[in-house]
């Protein structure tokens, strides 16, 4: 269907007519058809005009079973005052939002405690989420509404831990369809990633006897479920920022604070290296998939993938380069000032959480360790010497030619020579050379001043000074 100005006017008129129509007494089938049509029209922003007026929103709210607890006469009077006094419009909208929040909360409570099928509860929860997300002042009101005592920090921590226990159950819940299970686990991961880190231990605080996956005497069912969920999202490769970053962040933070989680994930994602003939990003395992994301065009995806691997390596630079290759690891190392490789796991913010276990190498890795190219992370095939058969003069000429080519590229600002500073970050090489030159000039000036001072002394005093 082609959209034009005439069709937009038709949609606007249709929406206005339907809103007036649904305000009367209608048969359920007719009302359902009208509301379904309004829902379709609401997908077009150009047809939203009649639906966002106060009267339309009140009508839809009433049809949704939400009581605003406000007499109609008083509401009409308030609307007339708002039309005559524009300055009161914001105040009226604030009062309307508060009444909508109260009515929505009462409707949700009735649906939760009634035991009836949760018809419409999903959309009411979505509306409640939008209200509290767009209006921060309503969050405080929701915390205090119908509550004898405001939530304290201790009560919040207890509620968070209970919520984490419920989410753990949701994460391990079996569903009829794969899509339903994927959607449930996706919502569960999104909420878990927003909880405080102190609540994540609830995911592991389950008796081992009931676990189908355990490691070091700790229940790993939840961690294994998150690992499988991440694997499925990696294989789909669509909307990685929205679909993948929450579970990557959750696994990263959980690995930081729980040693058992980190050990289990490292065993699954970064097992001891055996085959080093393949570049890390070309591997088909979980490690290869995450390493490929380290060079993703989306910065958030790239950072989350690199952060997870870095934490699994206990924030140890040499170990991180060993599993990913220096070329793939350079982005994170440059951002953290670790290009010089001087800082290891003992200097990180979460260093106290990391144990002192060593990295065990396989026999296959030890045999070829000296042949591994640290940049690519694999054993490269032997290449012929490009200068074989050249005389020393020809080698010097080739070196000068390369220097001239690099110099021209630098002068034309096609490339910029960079170097690693003392704090492990990249900086323009000419800046470092200039600073070194200035230091050398200062030393030479000091030496010349000393020489001049000595030359102006009497011979006897000069001999004593030299001694």
pLDDT at position 52 is 78
| Total Cβ atoms within 10 A of residue 396 | 11
Pick from 231, 228, 158, 167: nearest CA to 193:
167
| Total Cβ atoms within 10 A of residue 32 | 11
Domain-located, residue 272: no
Using DSSP, state whether 246 is helix, strand or coil: helix
E strand spans, 122-281: 214-215, 218-219
Domain-located, residue 283: no
Q: Describe the crossing of helices 89-114 and 136-144 by its angle, rounded to 10 degrees.
A: 40
Using DSSP, state whether 338 is helix, strand or coil: coil
Does this model's pTM top 0.75? My answer is no
| Total Cβ atoms within 10 A of residue 116 | 10
Return d(Cα 122, Cα 61) in angstroms, integer: 15
Q: Are strands 214-215 and 372-373 parallel, antiparallel or unpaired?
A: unpaired
Burial string for 120-141 (b: 16+ CB within 10 Å, else e) reads eeeebeebbeebbeeeeebeee
Domain-located, residue 292: no
Domain-located, residue 158: no
Q: How many domains does the chain have?
A: 1
Q: Measured on CA atoms in the order 332, 335, 341, 342, is the torsion positive or negative?
A: negative
Return d(Cα 68, Cα 97) in angstroms, integer: 9
pLDDT per residue rounded down to tens, the chain (467 residues): 455 667 778 888 888 888 888 877 788 888 888 888 888 888 888 878 888 787 887 788 778 777 765 544 444 444 433 333 333 233 334 556 777 777 888 888 777 676 666 667 777 888 888 888 888 888 777 777 655 555 555 677 888 889 999 999 999 988 888 889 999 999 999 999 988 888 888 888 888 876 688 888 888 999 999 999 999 999 887 888 999 999 999 999 999 999 999 999 999 999 988 888 889 999 989 999 999 999 999 999 999 999 999 999 999 999 999 999 999 998 899 888 888 776 544 445 555 556 655 567 788 888 888 888 888 888 888 888 888 889 999 999 999 999 999 888 888 888 888 888 877 787 887 655 555 555 656 666 665 666 665 555 555 544 544 55
Contact 262, 310 (CB under 8 A): no
Domain-located, residue 410: yes
pLDDT at position 3 is 57
Domain-located, residue 101: no
Q: Measured on CA atoms in the order 290, 295, 297, 298, is the torsion positive or negative?
A: positive
Contact 192, 206 (CB under 8 A): no
Which domain range does residue 409 map to?
Answer: 400-435
């Amino acid at each position: 269907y082609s959209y034009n100005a005439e069709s937009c006017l038709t949609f606007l008129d249709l929406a206005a007519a339907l809103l007036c129509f649904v305000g009367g007494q209608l048969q359920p089938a007719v009302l359902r058809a009208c509301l379904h049509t309004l829902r379709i029209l609401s997908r077009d922003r150009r047809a939203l005009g009649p639906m966002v007026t106060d009267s339309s929103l009140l009508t839809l709210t009433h049809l949704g079973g939400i009581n605003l607890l406000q007499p109609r006469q008083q509401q009409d009077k308030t609307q007339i005052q708002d039309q005559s006094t524009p300055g009161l419009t914001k105040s009226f909208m604030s009062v309307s939002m508060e009444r909508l929040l109260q009515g929505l909360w009462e409707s949700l409570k009735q649906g939760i405690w009634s035991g009836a099928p949760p018809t419409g509860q999903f959309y009411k929860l979505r509306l409640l989420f939008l209200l509290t997300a767009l209006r921060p002042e309503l969050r405080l009101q929701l915390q205090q509404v119908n509550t004898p005592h405001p939530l304290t920090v201790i009560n919040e921590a207890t509620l968070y831990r209970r919520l984490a226990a419920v989410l753990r159950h949701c994460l391990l819940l079996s569903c009829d369809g794969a899509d339903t299970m994927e959607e449930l686990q996706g919502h569960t991961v999104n909420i878990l990633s927003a909880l405080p880190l102190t609540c994540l231990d609830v995911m592991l605080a389950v008796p081992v006897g009931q676990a189908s996956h355990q490691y070091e005497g700790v229940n790993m069912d939840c961690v294994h479920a998150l690992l499988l969920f991440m694997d499925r999202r990696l294989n789909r490769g669509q909307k990685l920022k929205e679909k993948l970053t929450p579970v990557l962040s959750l696994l990263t933070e959980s690995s930081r604070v729980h040693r058992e989680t980190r050990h289990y994930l490292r065993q699954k994602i970064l097992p001891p290296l055996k085959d080093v003939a393949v570049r890390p990003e070309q591997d088909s395992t979980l490690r290869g998939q995450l390493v490929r994301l380290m060079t993703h065009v989306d910065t958030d995806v790239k950072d989350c993938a690199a952060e997870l691997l870095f934490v699994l390596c206990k924030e140890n630079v040499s170990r991180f380069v060993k599993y990913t290759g220096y070329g793939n690891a350079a982005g994170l190392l440059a951002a953290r000032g670790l290009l010089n490789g001087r800082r290891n796991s003992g200097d990180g913010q979460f260093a106290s959480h990391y144990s002192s276990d060593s990295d065990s190498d396989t026999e296959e890795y030890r045999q070829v360790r000296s042949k591994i190219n640290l940049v690519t992370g694999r054993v490269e095939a032997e290449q012929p010497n490009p200068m074989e058969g050249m005389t020393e003069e020809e080698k010097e000429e080739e070196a000068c030619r390369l220097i001239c080519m690099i110099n021209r590229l630098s002068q034309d600002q096609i490339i910029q020579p960079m170097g690693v500073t003392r704090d492990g970050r990249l900086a323009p090489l000419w800046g470092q050379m200039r600073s070194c030159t200035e230091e050398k000039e200062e030393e030479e000036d000091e030496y010349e001043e000393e020489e001049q001072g000595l030359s102006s002394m009497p011979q006897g005093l000069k001999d004593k000074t030299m001694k």
